[in-house]
């Protein structure tokens, strides 16, 4: 990398600017964002200028992300997990099974189920298909089935 940077001054400049941005991310020093945007704007690097233009469009949000300690990462992770579960079941099941798959992953739900029914470690699969117990979840008139194991 050092040799490439010596041979190509534009590559060296790109490396320095990218490292400055990464350093802002790691140290949460968003106060330096304006100076970084000006440095990129005065550089001849067109690809980095395009990135800086998109950063400039949402500068206040990016500055907040670079300075504040709060994060919505856990929320985004849960949303991604829910979408993955939903897409893996597309066209195969209704909302009841989706609800059970989402809740079956939570430790709180597993503890509730263990205290209600006791732990049963017997395998519940036969030829790769799920087995269903046909017992209603509630005393309602409609037919809702409880899935004992979710794939």
Q: What is the domain partition of the chain in residue ranges? A: 2-67, 73-117+130-147
Rounded Cα distance, 56 and 61, in Å: 10
pLDDT at 35: 94
pLDDT of residue 136: 46
CB 67 within 8 A of CB 31: yes
Reported as a single tens digit per residue, the pLDDT across 78-126 is 888 888 888 887 777 677 777 777 777 666 656 666 666 555 555 555 4
- Residue 48: how many CB atoms within 10 A of its CB? 19
CA angle at 52 for the pair 50 and 54, rounded to the nearest 5°: 75
Question: In this structure, which long-range contacts are made by residues 134-142, counting pairs with CB atoms below 8 Å and at least 24 apart in sequence?
Answer: 137/96
The per-residue pLDDT for range 125-144, each reduced to its tens digit, is 544 444 444 444 444 444 44
Can you give the pLDDT at residue 74? 83
Q: To which H or E segment does residue 132 belong?
A: strand 132-133
**Per-residue pLDDT tens over the stretch 19-69:** 999 999 899 898 999 999 999 999 999 999 999 999 999 999 889 888 888
């Amino acid at each position: 990398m050092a040799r490439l940077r010596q041979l190509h001054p534009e590559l060296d400049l790109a490396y320095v600017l990218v490292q400055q941005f990464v350093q802002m991310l790691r140290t949460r020093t968003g106060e330096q964002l304006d100076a970084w945007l000006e440095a990129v704007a005065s550089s001849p690097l067109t690809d980095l200028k395009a990135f800086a233009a998109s950063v400039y469009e949402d500068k206040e949000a990016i500055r907040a992300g670079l300075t504040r300690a709060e994060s919505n990462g856990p929320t985004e992770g849960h949303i991604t997990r829910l979408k993955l579960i939903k897409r893996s079941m597309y066209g195969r099941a209704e909302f009841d099974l989706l609800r059970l798959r989402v809740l079956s992953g939570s430790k709180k739900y597993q503890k509730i189920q263990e205290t209600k029914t006791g732990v049963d470690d017997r395998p519940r699969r036969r030829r790769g298909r799920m087995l269903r117990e046909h017992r209603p979840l509630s005393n309602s008139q409609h037919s809702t089935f409880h899935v004992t194991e979710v794939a």
